Structure 1
Amino acid sequence: MTDHAQQLRTQLLNELTAGGSLRTEEWRAAADAVARHEFLRGGFFRHAGGAAWEPVLQDDPGWLEACYRDESLVTQIAGTILPQDVRGQIMREPTSSSTLPSLVLRMLEDLQVEPGMRVLEIGTGTGYSTAVLATRLGDDLVTSVEYDSDVASRAGAALWDQGVHPTLVTGDGLLGHAEGGPYDRIIATCGIKTVPTAWIEQTQPGGIILATIGGWLHASELARLTVHEDGTASGPLLGGQVSFMLARPQSPPPLGLLPDLDAGTERPTSAGADVLDDWTSRFIAQFAAPNAQRLTLNRDGRDEHVLIDAVTGSWAALYEESGRWIARQSGPDLLWNAVEEQLGRWHTAGRPAAEKATVTLTEQGQTLTW
C-alpha cells in the first residue's frame, strides 16, 4: 500500500473514533489492517444529481481519496451494470454498494462479538466488511453469503488478493447457511422486511442477530435480537435511522394494474397521509401494513396518497378536503385502520424514540412494543 493510502486510512479511522463509530482497540486494529480501496478497484458510481449516476474509475482523479471518505459508494446499477460499463451518465437504480465505513464499524461494534465466536454475514458485497470480520476473528470463524453471483465472484477475488480466506457462499442469504452453523452471531449488511426463521434456527441460544429491519415504505432501524431457548428472539432497536438496500428476494414486486380507487368505503381519519412523511412514524406504520407500498396520484385535481398491499390487494387512499383528512379503503384488510391503530398506541406511549422500542419474533410473526 502507498504511504498516501495509509495516511488516508489513518485519517478516516481517527475521524470514526472521534465520532463514536469505532469504540474499541480490537476493531480499530482490524480496520487498520484492511485497505478499503483494494475492494473498490473496479470503481464506483458518483451521484450526478436527480436519478443520474456517473462512473469513477481507478485511474480517475480523486478515486483513492473517495475510497477513504465516510461515504457509501455505489458499485452496481440495475443488477448488472458496473462502472466500467458506462460512459457519461446512467439513470437507473443502484443495486449494490460499499457501505459507509462508520456504519460497517458501528455494526461490528454493536454485534458484541468475542474471540472464538462463529459469525455468519448476510451480504458479502465488495468484501470489505467480511475482511474486517475475518481479520479480527480468523478465516475459519467467518462465513459470508452473497445473493449475486457476479458480486460474490468479485468479492472473492479481492479477499483472496488480500490474503483473507473466509468461507464464501453464493446463494439466498435469507436461508442462512446451515452447514456452517450453529452461529454465535449473525450480521446482515442488507435490509430485511422480516427476520427469517432460518436465521433464528441457525443461531445458538443466547446468540445475537444484528439486522436492519425495514419495509416497502422505506424506513428502517437497526435491531439487535437475542435468540432464546424456545426458538423466539427479541431485542432493542439501536436507533440512528440505519438504511440498507433490501435483500433482493424481499424487494417489493411491481404493482401492476391499480385497483378501482373509486370503490371502497370512506370515513374521516385523525391521522392523515402526512404522518408517513416522518421516518419514525413510517417505520412504525410498516408493522401494521408490512406489505404495503405507497404512491401519490393526482385525481380529480387533488393529490391522493395511496397504500396498496401487494399480497392481499387491500388498499387505502387518503386525501384532504376542507382541512380534514378522508380515508377510502377496500379489500380483505382495512389498511389505514391498522396503521391508525398502531400509530395511536405509539402516541399513547408518548411517541418514544425508536431506541426505546423492542422487536419480538415468535411463530405468530414480528411485533414492535414499547
Structure 2
Amino acid sequence: MSDTATELRLALAARLGSAGWREALRRVPREPFLGEAVYRADGNRADRWVPVRRAEMGQDDWLSLAYADQTWVTQVGGILAENAPDVVVGQPGSSSTLPSLVVLMLEAARISEGDKVLEIGTGTGYSTSLMCARLGEKAVTTVEYDPMVAARAEKAISAVGYAPTCVVGDGMNGYAANAAYDKVISTCSVRVIPLPWLWQVRSGGTITTPMWGWMGGVAFAHLTVADDGTASGRFLEDDLCFMAARTHLAPPRPPIITGIGQARPSRIDPAILRNDTALWVAQLAAPQAQCSWGEDTTILLDVGTGSRADTKPAPAGGWTVYQHGPLRLWDAVEEAILTWQGAGSPHQSGFGLTVSTDSQRVWLGTPGGPDWRLPA
C-alpha cells in the first residue's frame, strides 16, 4: 500500500475516529470498497450520473477521492460504476457512505467489543469491515439484497483480510441462523421495523435504524428489546437518512388532476410540510400517501385507495384544500400537525416508538401521549 494511502487513512482516522472506532479506521483502507469506478452527479439533471474511473486518474487523485469525507455512488439503475459504458440515467441503488456518517451510525448503535452484530445492508462492505476490525469477523453477520452488490462487497471485504458471515437475501428477514444478536444495525431506511429483527435480538439488545416514509419524512430509531419481546425507545437527535430498503419503496405515482373533490379552508399553511419534522408528522397521519409540490400547490396521493388532497392559495387569503376519495388525507394531516404544534413543535427526538408483534406505535412526548400507528 502506498505511503499516500497510509497517510490519508491515518488522517481520516484522526479526524473522525472516536476512542472506540479510531483504531478500526486506522486499520481498514477505504479505497478497495470503491472498486474501479464511482459515479458523480451530472449536475444538470438529478437522475444523470457520470462514471469516474480509477484508470483515468492519477493514483494520488484517486486516493484523495477515496479518503474525502464524501458519499460516492457505486450503482445506478442496477449498473455498477465500473460497468457503466457512459452517462447512466436512473436512481442510485448502492453507495459508499461518507465515513463520518458511517462512524456516527456505529456510535449511535453503541456497538463495542463483545457484541454480536447483524448488519442490514452490506453496501460496499466498508462499515462491515470496520466492525470486523473492532469486534472480530466471527461476531459480524451482514445481509445484502442485491446479488451484484453483495458479490462486489464480499470481494472487497476479503481483500482487506476479513471473512464475516455474508448473506445474499432480503435483510427485512434478518438472518436467523446466527441469532441471537446483541445489536441490529441497518444501513438502509425502513418504513416499519421488520418483526424478524425483533425476534432475533436478545433481551436487552438493541435495534438501530433510520426510518423513512413515502412522503420523505425521516427519523432515526434506537430501540431496546424487552423481556416480553417488545421493543421501545425514543428517536435520536441526528437526522440520518440512507437509501430506502428496496422492498419498502413507494409504488409508482401516476399524475393527478388537482382541484377536484370537496373543498374547504385549510386550518394550516401547507408550506409547513417543507419543514422536516412537520413532514415526518404528516407522514405518521397518512402513511400510505405520497407528497409533491407545485409552484403554489401541495399534493397528497394515496395510490392504493385513489384518495387525494391538494391545496392552493384562496383568493381572499389563506388556503383551500380539495379532497377526493375514501380517505380524507388532509383532515388526518391537519389534525396531526395541530397536535404537534400544540406540544411545542418538537424535533423527531421528542417522539418515541414501541414495537410489538401486533402493532408499531409512534408516540409524542411519552408512551401515553398522542400516538399514530405505522402501516402493517
Regarding TM over 0.5, the answer is yes
- Offset at 1:75? 0.2
Find the partner of 1:311 among 304, 314, 317.
Answer: 304
Q: Partners of 1:138 and 1:312 in 2: how far apart?
A: 49
Name the SS for the 1:192 alignment partner: coil
Is the contact made by 2:184 and 2:208 (CA closer than 8 Å) also made in structure 1?
A: yes
1:143 aligns with 2:138: no
- Identity, % of aligned pairs? 40
Q: Report the Cα distance in structure 1 between the residues aligned to 2:76 and 2:69, rounded to whole angstroms.
A: 21
- Tell me how far apart the structure 1 counterparts of residues 235 and 131 of structure 2 sit (CA, whole Å): 22
Corresponding residue to 1:167 among 153, 165, 168: 165
Provide the C-alpha distance between the structure 2 equivalents of 1:122 and 1:99, rounded to a whole number of angstroms. Answer: 14
Between the aligned partners of 1:335 and 1:88, the Cα distance in structure 2 is: 43
Tell me the C-alpha RMSD between the 2 structures.
Answer: 1.7
SS in 1 for 2:106: helix
Corresponding residue number in structure 2 for 1:185 = 183
Equivalent residue pairs, number: 358
Match of 2:89 in 1: 91
What is the CA-CA distance between 1:353 and the residue it aligns to?
2.3
Question: In the TM superposition, what is the alpha-carbon distance from 1:257 to its structure 2 partner?
Answer: 6.4
- 1:3 match: 3
Is 1:145–1:172's contact at 8 Å kept on the other side of the alignment? yes
Identify which of 275, 282, 289 aligns with 2:286.
289
- Supply the distance in 2 between the matched residues of 1:225 and 1:93 (Cα, whole angstroms): 30
1:318 offset after TM fit, Å?
A: 1.3
1:365 aligns with 2:360: yes
Q: For residue 316 of structure 1, what is the amino acid of its counterpart?
A: A
Structure-1 residue corresponding to 2:320 = 326
Structure 2: tracts of 5 or more residues without a match: 366-376
Aligned to 2:68: 69
Of 36, 42, 49, 2:30 maps to 36
Structure 2 equivalent of residue 119 of structure 1: 117
Q: How does 1:214-253 map to 2 (within 5 A)?
A: 214-253=212-251
**CA-CA distance at 1:108 after TM superposition:** 0.9
Counterpart of 1:130 in structure 2 is 128
1-structure distance, mates of 2:361, 2:25: 34
CA contact (8 A) 2:353 2:360 kept: no
2:359 maps to amino acid: Q
Give the letter for the 2:82 counterpart: Q
Structure 1 CA distance for aligned equivalents of residues 221 and 360 of structure 2: 16
Query: Please, which moves more after superposition, 53-62 or 344-353?
Result: 53-62
Aligned to 1:53: 49
* Contact kept in structure 1, 2:351 and 2:362, CA below 8 Å: no
Q: Is the contact made by 1:272 and 1:318 (CA closer than 8 Å) also made in structure 2?
A: no
Q: 2:359 & 2:157 partners in 1: Cα distance?
A: 40
Query: How far apart, CA to CA, are the structure 1 residues paired with 2:22 and 2:304?
Result: 45
In the alignment, does 2:345 pair up with 1:351? yes
Q: Write the distance in 2 (CA, Å) between the matches of 1:336 and 1:232.
A: 32
**Could you tell me whether the CA contact under 8 Å between 2:118 and 2:142 is conserved in 1?**
yes
| Residue matched to 2:370 | none
Taking structure 2 as the reference length, the TM-score comes to 0.90
In 1: Cα distance, 2:326 partner to 2:355 partner: 25
Equivalent-residue separation in structure 2 for 1:327 and 1:262 (angstroms): 8
Residue type at the aligned position of 2:14: N
C-alpha deviation, 1:307, in angstroms = 0.7
CA distance in 2, matches of 1:23, 1:342: 39
1:13 aligned partner: 13
**2:276 match:** 279
- Letter of the 2:267 partner, please give it: S
Q: Which runs of 5+ in 1 are unaligned?
A: 17-21
In structure 1, the residue matched to 2:374 is none
Q: 1:356 to 1:304 in 2, by over 3 A?
A: closer
Whether the aligned pair in 2 keeps the contact of 1:12 and 1:68 (CA below 8 Å) is: yes
